[in-house]
Structure 1
Amino acid sequence: MPELTTAKSVLLTDLALCVNHYRLFTPGIYVCLHVPVQLDHRSRIVPGLVAMVNHGRLKQCEPVDNGFEGPPNFVLDVFDSEEMAEYESRRGEFERAGVTEYVAVFDGDPLTFHWNRHDGQAFVEAAPDHRGILKSLALPGLWFPVQSLAGRNWWSILSTIEYGVSRKGHHEFMETIWHKAGRPPGDGAIPFEEG
């Protein structure tokens, strides 16, 4: 990852606060900053933030001494507006490797962002629900109200995450982590919808 300016470092710290708040309600995931990820034999990238499932059938990568091997479930980067080429390059690498969700936040007033979700073939831009909330598929219960993100209203995001982790999608997600073989037989299909 390119060296961070002070403004981008502050933005990444604020976003990490939100994702880490989610992690506190979600035992069994790792959230790390500036950790190298060996996506495959040819691609090694250092994202701003990585969140990965550490147990269960949704685990996609392995922690190693110097970062992670394999595609993480969730990656977040921060950029300046003139770094579109860097974003597109990284997006392509994460898409090819099968990262479930890749979020790129561009520093500005207001903040702008691209929430990319892998559909099994390629990334598609995730859309907010009818209330203006983006709901992670990679990390169910991680909810970001679009207007709050654009306006840097971290308190609103934190309270929305607290609501998201109380919903059924987060509970189903946790069952894939708590049960060694995933969710017990007869409890319904996985993957589940975001939420």
Structure 2
Amino acid sequence: MNKHTLFAAAAAAVALAALPAAAQQTLVPAQSEIVFTSRQMGVPVDGRFRRFDAQVAFDPKKPEAASIAMNIELASVSLGVAETEAELAKPDWFAIQQFPKASFQSSTVKPLGGGRFEVAGKLAIKGASRDIVVPVALAQSGGNTTATGAFVLKRLDFRIGDGEWKDTSMVANDVSVKFKLVLAGVPAL
């Protein structure tokens, strides 16, 4: 590399560094949560995932350019009962040894007005991938933006509860999922 090429590369790097970040946000894990409710023999069972991350590039004024990716550590599931959590790690449920993470990758973000958006993408759990559409509401306070939403997934679409657990009279097929993601660095609405 001659000195002119080296100088040009250095100048390009300095110019890129001076540009504002491409609307990349940072998840604030201590203030964020992913919770779910399933029903076992008609009784609600609440749980949560304690560890997850998100890579978000989002500008509310340009939602069509958004990219949202999440990874959830399935071993971080918490139901408050150690025996039940150990059961969820087994192959009939999350098969955590083979599939340690669930993931979501957005494909489109559509504005609905009033700080509300429709986020479409692929949810992958236990080797199965499904298209989902999630309504998301944004609220800004201080330097953070809170994204909240909820959706229902069909556990059997993802082979969660194989074998004898496929019986939906024992464990309902519908699982309600709610999330609150607190993000730093989202541009103003």
- TM bucket by the smaller chain? under 0.3
User: TM-score scaled to structure 2, two decimals?
Assistant: 0.27
For normalisation by structure 1, the TM-score amounts to: 0.26
Larger of the two Rg values belongs to structure: 2
Structure with the higher strand share, 1 or 2: 2
Relative contact order higher in (CA < 8 Å, ≥ 6 apart): 2
